Amino acid sequence: MTPIEKEQTAEAKAPRHVAIVMDGNRRWAAKRHLPKKLGHKAGVDAVRKIVRAAGDLGVEYLTLFGFSSENWNRGPEEVSDLMGLLRLFIRGDLAELHQNGVQIKIIGERTHLDPDIISLIEEAETLTADNTNLHLVIAFNYGGHLEIAAAVRRIAHKIANGEIKPDQITPDTIEAHLDTAGIPHPDLVIRTSGEKRLSNFLLWQSAYSEFIFTDVLWPDFTKDTLADAVSEFRSRDRRFGEG
């Protein structure tokens, strides 16, 4: 194989969609004897860097797990801090993201979110809807089980209304009713901080994803860390269940 052919093959193996479980903000703060709030703030700073890095590395879709539906069980002060950081991120970064051609989509339940946060989310999605340089998906108040249950409810309503018959339901039917409808499945799922589990993240979508678990805490995750993960992904032989 010629060097050009090798380069083309490597490029073909590059992940189109990278999804990241951003874990380790609190441990990062604890190691530095800082309050949790500063750990989460450092995590937002890392988000900014990785959004830029993803585009530079040729990633088309970047999904970030920002706030789990289970995170409501954390202390009220920490939850309030996380909500405040989402507000600051959208208000402070939306103009730059839009200018750089980033399309923003937020997936997850919006029922329990404050009205001003819902308005900010809708503004961000509407403003950036036609952008194509990078598709940034933020999973906020998201849980994979809740997403699948909601999809089943939507399908059930259509059955009740006579729009579809039960024997017409296929995996594609379910796919079309998920929060991520129209978004390609993640080729690569990364989790930081050393934990080795999905934690209810993109359960349906990650059926054939490659997984990389790194000990790096999320605030310390850099473009080089992402580039290393992409390089490892390219070295893998994806078989999609074919043996």
The pTM for the full model equals 0.91
pLDDT in tens, the chain (243 residues): 343 333 344 455 789 999 999 999 999 999 999 999 999 999 999 999 999 999 999 999 999 998 898 888 888 898 888 898 899 899 999 999 999 999 999 999 998 889 999 999 999 999 999 999 999 999 999 999 999 999 999 999 999 999 999 999 999 999 999 999 999 999 999 999 999 999 999 999 999 999 999 999 999 999 999 999 999 999 998 777 665
Alpha carbon distance 89, 86 (integer Å): 5
Q: Which pLDDT score is estimated for 7?
A: 39
Which of 25, 71, 200, 228 is flagged as catalytic? Answer: 71
Q: Which pLDDT score is estimated for 242?
A: 67
Q: Which pLDDT score is estimated for 139?
A: 95
Is 73 part of the annotated catalytic residue set?
no
Radius of gyration from C-alpha coordinates of the chain? 19
Is 220 part of the annotated catalytic residue set?
no
Q: Which pLDDT score is estimated for 115?
A: 94
Q: Which pLDDT score is estimated for 219?
A: 97
Which residues fall within 8 angstroms of residue 12, CB to CB, at 6 or more apart?
Answer: none
Q: Which pLDDT score is estimated for 4?
A: 35
Domains of the chain: 15-144+185-235 (3.40.1180.10)
Three-state secondary structure along the chain? CCHHHHHHHHHHCCCCEEEEECCCHHHHHHHCCCCHHHHHHHHHHHHHHHHHHHHHCCCCEEEEEEEEHHHHHCCHHHHHHHHHHHHHHHHHHHHHHHHCCEEEEEECCCCCCCHHHHHHHHHHHHHCCCCCCEEEEEEEEECHHHHHHHHHHHHHHHHHCCCCCHHHCCHHHHHHCCCCCCCCCCCEEEECCCCCCCCCCCCCCCCCCEEEECCCCHHHCCHHHHHHHHHHHHHCCCCCCCC
